[in-house]
Amino acid sequence: METLNRRKIIIAIDGFSSCGKSTFAKSIAARLGYIFIDTGAMYRAVTLYALEHGAIRSGIVDEERVVALLPEITISFRFNPQRGASDIYVNGDLVEGKIRTIEVSNCVSPVSSIREVREKLVAMQQQMGRARGVVMDGRDIGTVVFPDAELKIYMTADAKVRAERRYIELTEKGDKVSFEEILDNVISRDKADMSRAISPLRKADDAIVLDNSAMSVEEQMEWFEHEFNRVQAALAE
């Protein structure tokens, strides 16, 4: 990528679930030599821990029990060269493969709307980005975690296109899921993410929109290169 890679900046990527944020963010980070942080994985990791420790039963999240579990949850990332991204660990256990099941997806919205959960994870995210040179993806990165990020991108894509992508991803892994179930999950999470009281998903005023419904990864990279160079040129002035 022909970039004016002068200043290390924070690149905040927010948007709906399954619109390719992680793939996009991972490619950018690899090309720039930046650290990629998938904040959705952190909310998923807390959800998995809550499921495994009885704080979620039959899909019902017991908020008090989740909050009580928080002090015993330590999240860390370790770079996995095979994936070209960092794997997530909870209390030293690798959970990367366990956090993307439909069971976790179905419970992650209520867990991520708990104030104490957000406070803990946002503080960790701010700490991880303090040296800049990071690409962070999530829902509230440009609005809450790093309102001073130099480049903010708001990603979106048609809900059916997103459900199709997640369906392929899950069935390739051998998960038995139906397309309708995935589409329902995508639509209900969009609604929950945008309507929750704390840090709802919304476009930061200074974010630029990327609708990738009909764009290849290469086209998205070209688009990004242009925007990144624009920001670097402005910073150099």
Which residue's CB is nearer to ligand DC, number 44 or number 120?
44
Q: Residue 229 forms beta bridges with which residues?
A: none
User: 20, 37, 39, 185: which one contacts ligand DC (CB under 6 A)?
Assistant: 39
Phi-psi label, residue 59: left if phi above 0, alpha if psi -120 to 50, beta otherwise: left
Q: Which residue has the tokens 């993307």?
A: 100
Angstrom distance (rounded) from CA 136 to CA 132: 10
139 touches ligand DC (CB under 6 A): yes
Number of residues that bind ligand DC (CB under 6 A): 13
From 35-43, 90-98, 126-134, 228-236, span contacting ligand DC (CB under 6 A) = 35-43
Taking CB under 6 A as the rule, does residue 150 contact ligand DC? no
Task: Rank residues 32 and 136 by Cβ distance to ligand DC and give the closer one.
Answer: 136
Is 86 near ligand DC (CB under 6 A)? Answer: no
Report the nearest approach of ligand DC to the CB of residue 126 (Å). 12
Residue 190 touches ligand DC, criterion: CB under 6 A: no
Q: Quote the CA–CA distance of 229 and 6 in Å, as a whole number.
A: 10
CA–CA separation, 87 and 224 (whole Å) = 25
Q: Which of residues 140, 154, 155, 162 is near ligand DC by CB under 6 A?
A: 140
Lookup: tokens for 229 = 């160079």
Quote the least distance from Cβ 221 to ligand DC, whole Å.
Answer: 20
Q: Give the per-residue SS3 of 84-131.
A: CEEEEEECCEECCCCCCCHHHHHHHHHHHCCHHHHHHHHHHHHHHCCC
Binding letters toward ligand DC, positions 153-172, x by CB under 6 A? --------------------
Based on CB atoms, which residue is closest to ligand DC, 112 or 156? 112
Largest pairwise CA distance in the chain: 56
Does 43 help bind ligand DC (rule: CB under 6 A)?
Answer: yes
189 binds ligand DC (CB under 6 A): yes
Q: Which stretch binds ligand DC (CB under 6 A): 28-36, 51-59, 83-91, 138-146?
A: 138-146
Q: Which amino acid is at 110?
A: P
Name every residue whose Cβ is closer than 8 Å to that of residue 234 and which is 6 or more positions away in sequence: none
Q: What length is written for the chain?
A: 237
Residues 3-32, one symbol each (x = binds ligand DC by CB under 6 A, - = not), give --------------x---------------
Query: What's the CA dihedral at 198, 201, 202, 203 to 10 degrees?
Result: 130
Instruction: Give SS3 for 88.
Output: strand
| Cα–Cα distance, 199 to 143 (Å, whole number) | 8
- Contact call for residue 185 and ligand DC (CB under 6 A): no
| Binding site residues, ligand DC, CB under 6 A | 17, 39-40, 43-44, 108-109, 112, 138-140, 189, 193
